[in-house]
């Protein structure tokens, strides 16, 4: 039987298109599978909705995607080296590629933010003052300038609202001591007293 | 190829083109993401070997978290056929110890003489581990141990797992998570992730030369008891990081001695002995609390010269356990407790003259509190209490190891002080104090030995690397 070349070509192209489409579908499915698998690992400590149980691990829900990306890259190249970064996140971030980092950041940034937790109202009031006014006597600018009027974050400056107070406390301490490499923040917070730090983190956890 | 179907492709360029196009399927996308670790000890452990919630998740997920480069293989359909660590996750541990008992033990041969009191074991134990991923979703914990006191090298705790994870529910289809796992292991409770059960329970290390009570429940007997004399397989489920359920079946798998197993062996478990475990864990802030129950029904032939046929002994253990953990920045605190009720039906032992009563029972209760400051210095105190029915043959009178009162009742405290100069090195001082040993406080063996004569001072250097 002689094969009609035109029919063969049409059938061939159709089959090829179907195979490519399936391969791309499979590719997209594989990408989604890789992301889902990665998110399950993140969720072990950070919660699948980005709200962690233990304050050792920060909430990621509604976090600035640019900030999450920058931190994951800093864990991956080990430029962020505070104790918990070394203990937990260097290993976690080592195998991530750029597209996964981007997808993780997108996912958590879209989760609804954690609700505020009530606390010592006097401490929270003092913290609100530090957050909104800074400490002019020590030339410390208001945190709100970069982190947003409601600590919702801005570009690469992270959201702080609803974050675990013990986590924020630890970050401010490791930034002050330069265990965590954050030159701009170090300049801003280096003169904050322990009492001021405790007040501002209590406020941030409450909003 | 049959001639009738042969096609000369060179005479049909479109067909050739079609075939070439079909072969040129583009490789795209990334193969499955391999979950990784490379995390410091503190991520998975409070003080080794006790597990944090994250450590429990790592174990339940099959030990597959891994940050090493993988040697990979995939099929033409992009199914993964190989994922091998380029550097195997091997490690070892060394334990060096010193034991001093309240009173020296009698010489084993010369009547009236005493053995040396105060003994160094160098090593007490050296172990080699493979702990980590074998293939996709398949991981293993394999331990080989050299025992210095017995001068014996052999298989120790081994747990091989395969897991599969499902997410469902809610807008993102991930509101709920369900993990299914298969475990193959050689010691009931080695697969457990709480530190209330015997394989990984307190005390995490103890003297291998000081006397120990005459009897312990099957689920409390570990190495030297049921551990490494059985092999089992089981299925478990872990729902929403909270609810655990498992059913496993064990049968005899004794290393060494006569094979096939015969009358020269001891405590040969026959048929499939079921082990079950349920647990509920709740986590909030830096706390976690677990409540659970577990049990096992073991049927075994005593052996010891009697054939492995006919009547058997049956041990039915039913147990409750509870654990509370607080993992703070500076202070870590753990409370562990278990209660095991064992019903014994000793038809074979009675027929063979090893026991007097066909029905007996043994109750075990443990309560332990642990504290550590910054995972560097801390201490623990544990209370234990074993009570059971008397039996003139099972708990016969005999110097040091027997019972004048024909009773297994033993009670006491274990206190520890730990210093960890590094996360992987533990220096320990342990003291075991018996208020009752094999039924009595004073002259428990009818030869003048008191319970307190078995009190043991135990110094340990334990290094992992």
What's the CATH code of the domain at B233?
Answer: 2.40.160.10
pLDDT in tens, B96-129: 999 999 999 999 999 999 999 899 999 999 999 8
Over residues B255-273, the pLDDT tens digits come to 888 999 999 999 999 889 9
The predicted pLDDT at position B350 comes to 95
Task: Test A24 with B28 for CB contact under 8 angstroms.
Answer: yes
Determine the Cα–Cα distance for residues B62 and B42; give it in Å rounded to an integer: 19
Last residue of a domain, one of A86, A109, A132: A109
By Cβ distance, the residue of A53, A95, A100 closest to B285 is A53
pLDDT over 70 (residue A25): no
**Together in a domain, A87 and A125:** no
- Check B32 against A56: CB less than 8 A apart: no
Number of domains in chain A: 2
Instruction: Kindly state the helix (H) or strand (E) to which residue B55 belongs, with its residue range.
Output: helix B53-60
Residues A98 and A157 in one domain: no
Instruction: Using alpha carbons, select from A132, A146, A128 the residue that is nearest to residue A187.
Output: A146
Domain of residue A22, CATH code: 1.10.760.10
Q: Could you tell me if A9 and B13 are in contact, meaning their C-beta atoms sit under 8 angstroms apart?
A: no
The answer to whether position B125 is within a domain reads yes
Distance (Å, whole) CA B404 – CA B399:
9
Count other Cβ atoms within 10 Å, centred on residue B199: 19
Question: Does B312 fall in a domain?
Answer: yes
User: Under a CB-based contact definition with an 8 Å cutoff, are residues B298 and B270 in contact?
Assistant: no
Nearest CA-CA partner of B410 in B445, B376, B379: B445
Note the pLDDT of residue B68.
67
State the pLDDT at residue B99.
97
Reading the block at residue B422, the tokens are: 């590094």
Instruction: State which residues form the domain around B441.
Output: 33-464
Domain check: are A71 and A149 in the same one? no
pLDDT digits (tens, 9 = 90+) for B396-416: 999 999 999 999 999 999 999
Residues of A in contact with B238 (CB under 8 A): none
The tokens 């089992």 sit on which residue? B232
Percent of chain A with pLDDT over 90: 75
Contact A54, B286 (CB under 8 A): yes
Lowest average pLDDT, out of B83-97, B151-165, B334-348, goes to B83-97
Q: What mean pLDDT is reported for chain A?
A: 90
Which of A56, A58, A76, A106 to mutate against chain B (most B CBs within 10 Å)? A56
Choose the closest CB to A44 out of B31, B33, B57.
Answer: B57
- Yes or no: say if B263 and B308 are a contact pair by the CB < 8 Å rule: yes
* Helical spans, DSSP H, in B245-390: 347-351
Q: Find out whether the peptide bond into B267 is cis, omega within 30 degrees of 0.
A: no
Contacts of A94 in chain B (CB under 8 A): 36, 38, 67
**Core vs surface per residue B393-420: b (16+ CB within 10 A) or e:** ebbbbeebebbbbbbbbbbbebebebeb
Q: Is the distance from CB of B305 to CB of B282 less than 8 angstroms?
A: no
CA atoms within 13 A on the CB side of B207: 23
Whether the CB-CB separation of B395 and B410 falls below 8 Å is answered with no
Q: Please, which pLDDT band fits residue B26 given cuts at 50, 70 and 90? A: very low
**Residues written for chain A:** 207
pLDDT at residue A12 in the model = 65
**Interface confidence (ipTM) of the complex:** 0.81
Q: How far is CA A137 from each of CA A133, A142, A192, rounded to the nearest angstrom?
A: 11, 12, 11
Question: What would the mean pLDDT of B195-212 be, rounded to a whole number?
Answer: 96
Question: pLDDT, tens digit, for every residue of B65-81?
Answer: 766 677 888 888 878 78
User: According to the model, what pLDDT value does residue B189 have?
Assistant: 97
Looking at residue B330, the DSSP 8-state letter turns out to be S
Determine which of A16, A98, A117 to mutate to test the interface with B (most B C-beta atoms within 10 Å).
Answer: A16
CB A92 within 8 A of CB A84: no
Task: Please check whether residue A177 lies inside any domain of the structure.
Answer: yes
Using the 3D structure, point to which of A74, A109, A144 is the last residue of a domain. A109
Top residue of A2, A15, A30 to mutate, by most chain B CBs within 10 Å, is: A30
- The reply to whether A76 and A12 lie within a common domain is yes
The mean-pLDDT minimum among A11-15, B263-267, B334-338 falls in: A11-15
User: Tens digit of pLDDT for each residue in B48-66?
Assistant: 899 999 999 999 998 877 6
- State residue A1's pLDDT score: 52
As for how many domains chain B has, the answer is 1
For residue B37, what pLDDT band results from cuts at 50, 70 and 90? low
Domain extent for A64: 5-109
Does A91 lie in the same domain as A24?
Answer: yes
Assess if residue B419 is contained within a domain.
Answer: yes
Cα B53 to Cα A206: distance, rounded to the nearest angstrom: 26
On the question of pLDDT at B19 being above 50, the answer is: no
Main-chain phi, psi angles of B458, to 5 degrees: -130, 120
Give the pLDDT score at A17. 54
Q: Is A56 in Cβ contact with B286 (below 8 Å)? A: yes
Give yes or no for a contact between B197 and B292, defined as CB atoms under 8 angstroms apart.
Answer: no
Q: Which chain A positions have a beta carbon within 8 Å of B78's beta carbon?
A: 26, 30
Query: Which residues of chain A make contact with B327, given a CB cutoff of 8 A?
Result: 54, 56
Indicate if A65 and A149 belong to the same structural domain.
no
Burial class (CB in 10 A: 0-12, 13-18, 19+), B459: middle
pLDDT of residue A35: 87
pLDDT band at B423; cut points 50, 70, 90: confident
B145-166 mean pLDDT:
94
Contact between residue B205 and residue B428 where contact means Cβ atoms under 8 Å apart = yes
Q: Summarize the confidence of residues A166-181 as an average pLDDT.
A: 96
Per the domain annotation, does B252 fall within a domain? yes
Residue A115 maps to a domain: no
Final residue of a structural domain among A77, A109, A141? A109
Question: Do the chains contact at A48 and B174, CB–CB below 8 Å?
Answer: yes
Do A53 and B26 count as a contact with CB atoms less than 8 A apart?
A: no
Residues of A in contact with B13 (CB under 8 A): 5
Residue keyed to tokens 């923040």: A185
Q: What is the pTM of this model?
A: 0.86
The DSSP output letter for B35 is P
């Amino acid at each position: 039987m002689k094969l009609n070349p035109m029919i063969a070509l049409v059938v061939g192209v159709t089959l090829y298109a179907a195979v490519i489409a399936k391969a791309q579908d499979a590719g997209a499915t594989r990408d989604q599978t890789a992301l889902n698998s990665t998110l399950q690992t993140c969720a072990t400590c950070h919660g699948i909705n980005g709200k962690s149980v233990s304050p050792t691990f920060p909430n990621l829900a509604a976090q600035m995607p640019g900030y999450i990306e920058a931190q994951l890259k800093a864990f991956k190249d080990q430029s962020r080296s505070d104790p918990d970064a070394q203990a937990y996140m260097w290993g976690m971030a080592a195998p991530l590629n750029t597209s996964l980092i981007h997808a993780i950041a997108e996912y958590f940034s879209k989760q609804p933010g954690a609700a505020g937790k009530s606390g010592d109202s006097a401490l929270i009031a003092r913290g609100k003052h530090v957050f909104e006014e800074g400490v002019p006597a020590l030339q410390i600018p208001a945190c709100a300038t970069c982190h947003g009027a409601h600590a919702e974050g801005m570009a690469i400056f992270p959201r702080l609202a609803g974050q675990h107070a013990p986590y924020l406390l630890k970050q401010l301490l490791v930034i002050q001591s330069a265990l965590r490499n954050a030159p701009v923040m170090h300049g801003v917070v280096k003169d904050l007293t322990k009492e001021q730090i405790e007040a501002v983190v209590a406020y941030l956890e409450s909003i | 190829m049959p001639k009738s179907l042969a096609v000369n492709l060179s005479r049909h360029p479109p067909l050739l083109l079609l075939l070439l196009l079909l072969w040129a399927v583009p490789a795209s996308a990334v193969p499955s993401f391999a979950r990784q670790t490379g995390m410091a000890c503190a991520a998975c452990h409070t003080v080794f070997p006790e597990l944090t919630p994250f450590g429990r998740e790592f174990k339940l997920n099959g030990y597959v978290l891994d940050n090493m480069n993988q040697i990979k293989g995939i099929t033409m359909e992009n199914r993964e056929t190989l994922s091998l660590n380029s550097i195997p996750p091997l490690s070892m541990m060394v334990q060096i110890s010193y034991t001093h008992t309240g009173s020296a033990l009698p010489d084993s041969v010369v009547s009236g003489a005493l053995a040396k009191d105060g003994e160094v074991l160098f090593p007490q134990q050296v172990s080699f581990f493979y702990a980590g991923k074998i293939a996709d979703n398949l991981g293993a914990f394999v331990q080989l141990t050299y025992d210095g006191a017995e001068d014996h090298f052999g298989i120790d705790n081994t747990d091989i797992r395969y897991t599969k994870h499902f997410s469902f529910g809610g807008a993102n289809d991930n509101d709920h998570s369900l993990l299914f796992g298969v475990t193959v292991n050689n010691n009931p409770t080695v697969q457990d992730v709480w530190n209330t059960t015997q394989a990984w329970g307190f005390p995490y290390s103890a003297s291998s030369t000081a006397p120990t009570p005459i009897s312990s429940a099957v689920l409390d007997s570990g190495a030297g008891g049921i551990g490494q004399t059985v092999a089992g397989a089981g299925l478990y489920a872990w729902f929403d990081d909270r609810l655990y359920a498992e059913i496993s079946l064990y049968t005899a798998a004794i290393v060494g001695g006569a094979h096939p197993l015969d009358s020269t062996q001891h405590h040969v478990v026959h048929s499939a002995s079921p082990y079950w475990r349920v647990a509920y864990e709740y986590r909030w802030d830096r706390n976690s609390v677990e409540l659970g129950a577990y049990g096992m029904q073991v049927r075994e032939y005593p052996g010891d010269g009697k054939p492995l046929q006919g009547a058997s002994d049956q041990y039915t253990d039913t147990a409750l356990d509870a654990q509370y953990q607080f993992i703070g920045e500076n202070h870590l605190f753990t409370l562990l407790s278990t209660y095991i009720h064992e019903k014994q039906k000793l038809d074979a032992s009675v027929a063979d003259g090893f026991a007097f009563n066909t029905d007996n029972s043994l109750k075990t209760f443990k309560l332990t509190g642990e504290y550590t400051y910054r995972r560097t210095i801390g201490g623990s105190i544990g209370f234990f209490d074993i009570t059971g029915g008397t039996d003139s043959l099972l708990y016969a009178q005999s110097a040091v190891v027997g019972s004048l009162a024909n009773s297994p009742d033993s009670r006491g405290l274990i206190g520890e002080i730990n210093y960890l100069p590094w996360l992987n090195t533990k220096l320990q001082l342990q003291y075991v104090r018996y208020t009752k040993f094999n039924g009595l406080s004073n002259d428990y063996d009818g030869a003048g030995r008191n319970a307190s004569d078995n009190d043991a001072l135990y110094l340990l250097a334990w290094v992992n690397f």
